[in-house]
């Protein structure tokens, strides 16, 4: 009897082991149907595996290029759609689908498309496609990208390849708008013939890669477009974006060779990635500046410019960047970093730190014994955000300013901002997908900040009004630089540092991240 | 039985309506999704404009009425994030979650039944201590921790299984073990206590005194009677698994309902949250009904 019971259990155990054993056997030596592959980029039969696998933290949301507002979605789109203009590695705007253009007057730019560009279904790219695309996003206020394109009044078709973009008012940032997120060109005929839902399920563009498959929250697969206007990309036969939300899982996939690139690696895992044979962390400065938004409302200590300056001098941005972020940031005194129109190099990679001066400024402002203030901060939104907020509280304690740090979950944080319930300071990161400094310095506009920070500077107001419609780039650049210089002096926001993008990369590939956080598979090479 | 089934199925309708009302209220109270849909640099004017276009500035009763009109047609509205109808997106994820839940349940049963019976028949033996102690240990381990540890050991160090994703059977092993062992721990304890109670019954003693072999006494006479609480817990756990694989799905990048729901809650994608909860609630009700039917099969004395 005992023997039979024993055999019963034995059978259970054996069947469990068999189940596990059989499963284990399928995991090696082959490319699975969801695009995963072995560590070695050579397959069993000796052929080179030309699949590029990229691990991203969140899934793309849609193939509607005008309705997502999401960098990781755009990182996929840029492989399938082309913009009219694009930015080169130094941030200069260069032609992409447009071959040449001419500025007719302050409201009109005439552009001519490249010849021979076709969509993935073979339809040629024409001016009608541009009209359809730009007028869609410029007129439909339900689209999330509408605020960034509503400046466009209409697109006039001149001939098959020539068209004019007409704006409501002089629009100095037009070229920046046309070379960023949501600027891809859609296929008019294809969408009108099949409907937009069909397009969303079977998207086509003019880019180097075309759509193969999307399994939501799992992976997106792209394959090279044979008739790409710039020549078929031979480097990769397949590009797979895998969705891996958990940081440690993404790192593990990179370490085991499951993916070639893993985005957003947190500082805690950098050593693991760097010490592993065959992987390394590569960094590039992003276009996001982390800062403290100061409330200058009458009655608060932070309304006094000397107090804001004192707090700026009391915070050691260098320690935040080098120690708390382990070198994953560059200290700055401006929101307009390198690569942006109107950047001011004197204000970048530098910071104010002088505790004695901070104490003196506080004494001068009548706060020799310090004061108490609240710092609101999100947790988990930005790299080491909670640690940074706590460290700032510690630094300010050294000048007798008692900081109560109030951590808010992101959605509550957003609500706090929208309801103007911000206290003396809150921690925020602001990016600039336009790469035009005008977009950043607009945050100092008194009307925009009324009831929020209540900061106002008459000279800044003048410069903002002048630069908004200034079609002379040299003058406009100087105006933006002057605004940044005033803001560095008056500190309506205490700029802390510009965050870096941290990407784990296999040493079998050559990949250099860009500050716009896009992943252009065509520019990634095998070593 | 037939009448009972019809009555139970009809009860599903008001229950689902109550659940949908509660979910609607909770999502409404949780706040406005528009601010989360736009980036940090969006102006107040942009936020207001989008809110108006999406009808989110309407008062509660109007929004609820619109929602109910859609609901009776099984239309939960469009997902804000995906800009597509919510229910198909939710149903698209269901197979992945059901696959994981079924695998986890199989692992749980394979572990729990032999260990539960064994520890009950060998009460206070080392086997019993191992089974009961092990149960406490497995139950105490949080899923996210166990999942990460399994990845580190079996994927990173030993390289036996893929780290994450869904595709082949090997992708299923680690997430199913992560989920299944916790349930196995609970089931082992339950089977053990249920078996201990039954092994002390008079009819077991009678069976033994008639000279029936111990193997049959334990596995036929006792085990079948010990199954009723096990069926209850299995049904409840299966329904919990469908809605409760959130953490495991996220750790293993398993493209199921749990991961979808977490993202929907984070982005306040109301339509997805409502459709997911509706589908999960329906499965829970269905599993409970199934458990009741199984009682009847296991114990013919039960009458409905």
**pLDDT of B13 above 50:** yes
Instruction: Identify the closest residue of chain A to B116 by CA–CA distance.
Output: A9
**pLDDT of A94 above 90:** yes
CB A24, CB B161: distance < 8 Å = yes
Return d(Cα A523, Cα A509) in angstroms, integer: 11
> What would the pLDDT profile of B182-227 be if each residue is shown by its tens digit?
888 888 888 888 888 887 777 777 877 777 777 777 777 777 777 7
- Report which of residues A519 and B289 the model is more confident about: A519
- Report which of residues A103 and B64 the model is more confident about: A103
**pLDDT of A24 above 50:** no
**pLDDT of A27 above 70:** no
User: How far is Cα of residue A455 from the mean position of the Cα atoms in its chain?
Assistant: 27
**pLDDT of A18 above 70:** no
Return d(Cα B288, Cα A266) in angstroms, integer: 43
Counting Cβ atoms within 10 Å, is residue B82 exposed (0-12), middle (13-18) or buried (19+)? buried
Q: Give mean pLDDT, residues B226-239.
A: 78
The terminus-to-terminus CA distance of chain A in angstroms comes to: 65
Q: Hey, of B148, B157, B170, which one would you mutate to test binding to chain A, going by the most A CBs within 10 A of its CB? A: B170
Domain segments of chain B as ranges: 2-87, 95-298
- Interchain CB distance below 8 Å, B160 and A24: yes
Within 10 A of A278 (CB to CB), how many other CB atoms are there?
Answer: 12
Q: Which residues of A touch B145 (CB under 8 A)?
A: none
Of the candidates A521, A492, A496, the one whose C-alpha atom is nearest the C-alpha of residue A331 is A496
Q: Is A206 on the interface with B (CB under 8 A)?
A: no
Of the candidates A335, A353, A332, the one whose C-alpha atom is nearest the C-alpha of residue A343 is A335
Instruction: Identify the closest residue of chain A to B122 by CA–CA distance.
Output: A2
Average pLDDT over chain B, rounded to an integer: 82
CB B181, CB B108: distance < 8 Å = yes
If residue A94 lies in a helix (H) or strand (E), which one and from where to where? strand A93-95
Percentage, residues of chain A above pLDDT 90? 72
Pick B155's closest partner by Cβ from A146, A252, A418.
A252
Return d(Cα A299, Cα A302) in angstroms, integer: 8
Q: Where are the alpha helices (DSSP H) in chain B?
A: 2-30, 34-37, 44-53, 60-71, 86-121, 126-140, 143-150, 169-199, 202-209, 214-216, 223-244, 246-251, 257-266, 270-298
- Interchain CB distance below 8 Å, B49 and A141: yes
Return d(Cα B222, Cα B233) in angstroms, integer: 18
Q: Give mean pLDDT, residues A38-62.
A: 73
Q: Where are the alpha helices (DSSP H) in B86-142?
A: 86-121, 126-140
Q: Which residues of A touch B165 (CB under 8 A)?
A: 32, 34, 36, 218-219, 242, 244, 258
**pLDDT of A16 above 50:** no
Counting Cβ atoms within 10 Å, is residue B257 exposed (0-12), middle (13-18) or buried (19+)? buried
| Of A9-13, A381-385, A481-485, the least confident | A9-13
Q: Are strands A152-157 and A98-105 parallel, antiparallel or unpaired?
A: unpaired
Within 10 A of B202 (CB to CB), how many other CB atoms are there?
Answer: 7
Residues paired with A378 in a beta bridge: A408
Residues paired with A166 in a beta bridge: A108, A154
Q: Which residues of A touch B31 (CB under 8 A)?
A: 411-412, 415
Residues paired with A279 in a beta bridge: A506
- Interchain CB distance below 8 Å, A69 and B39: yes
Q: Is A218 on the interface with B (CB under 8 A)?
A: yes
Of the candidates A111, A85, A261, A71, the one whose C-alpha atom is nearest the C-alpha of residue A176 is A85
Q: Which residues of A touch B38 (CB under 8 A)?
A: 69, 144
Q: Which two tokens stand for residue A366?
A: 């009548």
Pick B53's closest partner by Cβ from A141, A215, A414.
A141
Confidence of residue A79 (pLDDT cuts 50, 70, 90): very high
Return d(Cα A497, Cα A337) in angstroms, integer: 10
Pick one of 3.30.70.590, 1.10.150.120, 3.90.1150.10, 1.10.3720.10 as the CATH number of B95-298: 1.10.3720.10
Counting Cβ atoms within 10 Å, is residue B268 exposed (0-12), middle (13-18) or buried (19+)? buried
**pLDDT of B254 above 70:** yes
Main-chain phi, psi angles of A239, to 5 degrees: -120, 120
Return d(Cα A362, Cα B298) in angstroms, integer: 80
pLDDT at A508: 92
Note the residue count of chain B.
Answer: 304
- Interchain CB distance below 8 Å, B50 and A26: no
Within 10 A of B30 (CB to CB), how many other CB atoms are there?
Answer: 14
How far away is chain B from the Cα of A516, in angstroms, using its nearest Cα? Answer: 15
Three-state DSSP class for residue B148: helix
**pLDDT of A72 above 60:** yes
Pick B167's closest partner by Cβ from A36, A253, A417.
A36
The highest-confidence range among A107-121, A416-430, A510-524, B233-247, by mean pLDDT, is A107-121
Instruction: Identify the closest residue of chain A to B174 by CA–CA distance.
Output: A20
- Interchain CB distance below 8 Å, A242 and B165: yes
Q: Which two tokens stand for residue A387?
A: 């640690």
| Of A11-20, A23-32, A56-65, B150-159, the least confident | A23-32
Return d(Cα A9, Cα B146) in angstroms, integer: 25
Of the candidates A263, A218, A258, A209, the one whose C-alpha atom is nearest the C-alpha of residue A238 is A209
Residues paired with A111 in a beta bridge: A101, A163
Instruction: Show which of residues 70-99 on chain B sit within 8 Å of chain A, judged by CB atoms.
Output: 81-84, 89, 92-93
> What would the pLDDT profile of A294-353 be if each residue is shown by its tens digit?
999 999 999 999 999 999 999 999 999 999 999 999 999 999 998 899 999 999 999 999
Chain A / chain B CB contacts < 8 angstroms: 178
> What would the pLDDT profile of B40-70 be if each residue is shown by its tens digit?
667 777 777 777 777 777 778 888 888 888 8
Q: Give mean pLDDT, residues A143-161.
A: 92
Q: Which residues of A touch B163 (CB under 8 A)?
A: 249, 252-253, 256, 258
- Interchain CB distance below 8 Å, B166 and A218: yes
| Of A167-176, A191-200, A208-217, B25-34, the least confident | B25-34
If residue A502 lies in a helix (H) or strand (E), which one and from where to where? strand A493-506
Confidence of residue A246 (pLDDT cuts 50, 70, 90): confident
CB B173, CB B164: distance < 8 Å = no
> What would the pLDDT profile of A484-521 be if each residue is shown by its tens digit?
999 999 999 999 999 999 999 999 999 999 888 899 99
Return d(Cα A123, Cα A116) in angstroms, integer: 10
**pLDDT of A22 above 90:** no
| Of A19-33, A57-71, B30-44, the least confident | A19-33
Q: Is A414 on the interface with B (CB under 8 A)?
A: yes
Q: Is A198 on the interface with B (CB under 8 A)?
A: no
Pick B35's closest partner by Cβ from A19, A415, A431.
A415
**pLDDT of A140 above 80:** yes
- Interchain CB distance below 8 Å, B54 and A142: yes
Q: Give mean pLDDT, residues B270-292.
A: 85
Percentage, residues of chain A above pLDDT 70? 91
Instruction: Identify the closest residue of chain A to B153 by CA–CA distance.
Output: A252
| Of A223-227, A383-387, B216-220, the least confident | B216-220
> What would the pLDDT profile of A359-382 be if each residue is shown by its tens digit?
999 999 999 999 999 999 998 788
Within 10 A of B142 (CB to CB), how many other CB atoms are there?
Answer: 10
Return d(Cα A362, Cα B181) in angstroms, integer: 60
**pLDDT of A30 above 70:** no
Average pLDDT over chain A, rounded to an integer: 88
Counting Cβ atoms within 10 Å, is residue B12 exposed (0-12), middle (13-18) or buried (19+)? middle
> What would the pLDDT profile of A433-450 be if each residue is shown by its tens digit?
889 999 899 999 998 888
Q: Which two tokens stand for residue A237?
A: 């036969």
**pLDDT of A19 above 50:** no
Of the candidates A104, A97, A100, A81, the one whose C-alpha atom is nearest the C-alpha of residue A167 is A104
Pick B260's closest partner by Cβ from A19, A26, A217.
A217
pLDDT at B303: 67
Pick A253's closest partner by Cβ from B41, B164, B215.
B164
Sheet containing strand A162-167, edge to edge, reads: A98-105, A108-113, A162-167, A152-157
Note the residue count of chain A.
Answer: 527
Instruction: Show which of residues 189-228 on chain B sit within 8 Å of chain A, judged by CB atoms.
Output: 213-215, 218-219
Residues paired with A155 in a beta bridge: A165
Return d(Cα A92, Cα A95) in angstroms, integer: 10
Of the candidates A173, A189, A175, A172, the one whose C-alpha atom is nearest the C-alpha of residue A87 is A175
Return d(Cα A112, Cα A163) in angstroms, integer: 7
Pick B114's closest partner by Cβ from A8, A242, A417.
A8
Three-state SS annotation for A282-313: EEEEEEEEEEEEECCCCCCHHHCHHHHHHHHH
- Interchain CB distance below 8 Å, A12 and B110: yes
Q: Hey, of B154, B165, B220, which one would you mutate to test binding to chain A, going by the most A CBs within 10 A of its CB? A: B165
- Interchain CB distance below 8 Å, A215 and B255: yes
CB A454, CB A362: distance < 8 Å = no
Q: Is A184 on the interface with B (CB under 8 A)?
A: no
- Interchain CB distance below 8 Å, A418 and B35: yes
How far away is chain B from the Cα of A106, in angstroms, using its nearest Cα? Answer: 25
Q: Is A277 on the interface with B (CB under 8 A)?
A: no
Cα–Cα separations (whole angstroms), residue A206 to A51, A125, A185, A201, A227: 21, 8, 8, 17, 9
pLDDT at A159: 94
The C-alpha angle with vertex A316 and arms to A311 and A321, in degrees rounded to 5, equals: 130
**pLDDT of A36 above 50:** no
Q: Is B63 on the interface with A (CB under 8 A)?
A: no
Return d(Cα B175, Cα B252) in angstroms, integer: 7
Residues paired with A53 in a beta bridge: A240
How far away is chain B from the Cα of A237, in angstroms, using its nearest Cα? Answer: 20
Q: Is B35 on the interface with A (CB under 8 A)?
A: yes
- Report which of residues B184 and A117 the model is more confident about: A117
Instruction: Identify the closest residue of chain A to B267 by CA–CA distance.
Output: A411
Q: Give mean pLDDT, residues A136-155.
A: 90
Q: Is A258 on the interface with B (CB under 8 A)?
A: yes
Pick B214's closest partner by Cβ from A1, A23, A249.
A1
Q: Which residues of B touch A216 (CB under 8 A)?
A: 89, 92-93, 255, 260
How far away is chain B from the Cα of A247, in angstroms, using its nearest Cα? Answer: 9
Question: Looking at residue B100, what DSSP letter applies?
Answer: H
Contacts of A304 (CB under 8 A, 6+ apart): A365
ipTM of the complex: 0.76
**pLDDT of A122 above 70:** yes
Question: Looking at residue A150, what DSSP letter applies?
Answer: T
Contacts of A396 (CB under 8 A, 6+ apart): A311, A314, A315, A402, A403
pLDDT at A371: 94
Q: Hey, of B46, B163, B178, which one would you mutate to test binding to chain A, going by the most A CBs within 10 A of its CB? A: B163
Q: Are strands A209-215 and A238-243 parallel, antiparallel or unpaired?
A: unpaired
How far away is chain A from the Cα of B180, in angstroms, using its nearest Cα? Answer: 13
**pLDDT of A199 above 70:** yes
Main-chain phi, psi angles of B161, to 5 degrees: -125, 155
- Report which of residues A477 and B216 the model is more confident about: A477
| Of A512-516, A523-527, B49-53, B81-85, the least confident | B49-53
């Amino acid at each position: 009897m005992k023997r039979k019971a024993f055999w019963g259990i034995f059978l259970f155990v054996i069947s469990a082991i068999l189940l596990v054993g059989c499963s284990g056997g399928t995991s090696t030596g082959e490319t699975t149907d969801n695009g995963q592959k072995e560590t070695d980029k050579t397959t069993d039969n000796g052929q080179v595996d030309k699949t590029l696998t990229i691990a991203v933290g969140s899934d793309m949301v849609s193939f509607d290029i005008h309705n997502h507002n999401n960098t990781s979605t755009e990182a996929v789109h840029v492989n399938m759609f082309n913009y009219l203009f694009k930015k080169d590695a130094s941030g200069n705007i260069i032609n992409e689908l447009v071959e040449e253009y001419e500025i007719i007057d302050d409201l009109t730019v005439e552009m001519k498309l490249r010849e021979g560009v076709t969509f993935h279904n073979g339809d040629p790219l024409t001016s009608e496609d541009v009209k359809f695309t730009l007028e869609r996003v410029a007129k439909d206020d339900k689209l999330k990208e509408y605020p960034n394109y509503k400046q466009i009044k209409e697109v006039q078709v001149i001939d098959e390849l020539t068209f004019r973009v007409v704006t409501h008012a002089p629009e100095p940032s037009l070229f920046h708008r046309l070379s960023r997120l949501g600027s891809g060109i859609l296929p008019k005929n294809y969408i009108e013939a099949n409907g937009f839902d069909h397009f969303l399920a079977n998207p086509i563009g003019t880019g180097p890669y075309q759509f193969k498959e999307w399994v939501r929250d799992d992976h997106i697969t792209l394959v090279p477009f044979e008739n790409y206007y710039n020549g078929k990309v031979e480097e990769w036969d397949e590009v797979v974006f895998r969705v891996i939300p958990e940081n440690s899982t993404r790192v593990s996939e990179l370490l085991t060779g499951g993916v070639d690139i893993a985005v957003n690696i947190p500082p805690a895992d950098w050593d693991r990635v760097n010490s592993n044979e065959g992987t390394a962390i590569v960094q590039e400065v992003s276009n996001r500046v982390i800062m403290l938004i100061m409330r200058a409302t009458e009655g608060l200590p932070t309304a006094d410019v000397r107090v804001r300056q004192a707090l700026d001098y009391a915070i050691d941005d260098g320690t935040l960047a080098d120690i708390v972020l382990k070198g994953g940031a560059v200290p700055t005194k401006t929101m307009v970093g390198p690569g942006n129109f109107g950047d001011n190099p004197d204000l970048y990679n530098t910071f104010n730190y002088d505790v004695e001066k901070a104490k003196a400024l506080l004494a001068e402002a009548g706060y020799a014994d310090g004061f108490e203030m609240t710092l609101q901060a999100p947790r988990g939104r930005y790299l080491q955000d909670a640690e940074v907020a706590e460290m700032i509280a510690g630094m300010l304690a050294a000048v007798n300013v008692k900081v109560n740090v109030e951590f808010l979950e992101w959605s509550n944080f957003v609500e706090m901002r929208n309801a103007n319930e911000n206290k003396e300071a809150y921690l925020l990161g602001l990016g600039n997908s336009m790469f035009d400094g005008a977009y950043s310095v607009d945050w100092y506009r008194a009307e925009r900040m009324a009831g929020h920070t209540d900061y106002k500077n008459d000279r800044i107001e003048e410069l903002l009004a002048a630069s908004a419609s200034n079609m002379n780039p040299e003058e406009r650049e100087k105006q933006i630089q002057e605004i940044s210089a005033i803001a560095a002096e008056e500190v309506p926001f205490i700029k802390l540092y510009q965050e870096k993008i941290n990407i784990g990369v296999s040493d079998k590939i050559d990949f250099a991240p860009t500050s716009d956080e896009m992943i252009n598979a065509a520019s990634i090479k095998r070593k | 039985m037939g009448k009972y089934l019809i009555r139970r199925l009809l009860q599903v309708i008001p229950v689902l309506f109550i659940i949908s009302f509660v979910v609607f209220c909770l999502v409404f109270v949780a706040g406005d999704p528009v601010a989360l849909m736009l980036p940090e640099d969006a102006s107040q004017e942009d936020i207001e404009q989008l809110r108006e276009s999406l009808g989110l500035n309407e008062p509660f009763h109007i929004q609820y009425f619109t929602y109910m009109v859609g609901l009776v047609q099984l239309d939960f509205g469009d997902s804000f994030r995906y800009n597509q109808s919510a229910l198909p997106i939710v149903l698209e994820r269901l197979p992945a979650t059901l696959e994981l839940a079924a695998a986890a349940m199989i692992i749980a049963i394979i572990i729990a039944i032999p260990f539960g019976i064994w520890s009950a028949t060998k009460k206070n033996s080392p086997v019993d201590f191992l089974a009961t102690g092990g149960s406490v240990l497995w139950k105490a381990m949080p899923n996210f921790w166990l999942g990460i540890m399994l990845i580190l050991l079996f994927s990173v160090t030993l390289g036996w299984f893929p780290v994450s994703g869904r595709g082949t059977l090997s992708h299923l092993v680690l997430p199913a073990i992560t989920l299944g062992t916790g349930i196995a721990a609970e089931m082992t304890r339950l089977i053990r206590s249920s078996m201990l109670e039954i092994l002390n019954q008079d009819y077991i003693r009678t069976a033994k005194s008639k000279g029936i072999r111990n193997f049959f006494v334990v596995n036929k006479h006792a085990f079948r009677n010990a199954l009723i609480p096990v069926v209850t817990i299995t049904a409840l756990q299966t329904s919990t698994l469908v809605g409760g694989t959130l953490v495991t799905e996220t750790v293993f990048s398993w493209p199921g309902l749990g991961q979808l729901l977490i993202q929907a809650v984070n982005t306040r994608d109301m339509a997805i949250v409502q459709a997911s909860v509706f589908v999960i609630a329906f499965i829970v009700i269905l599993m409970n009904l199934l458990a009741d039917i199984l009682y009847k099969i296991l114990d013919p004395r039960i009458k409905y």
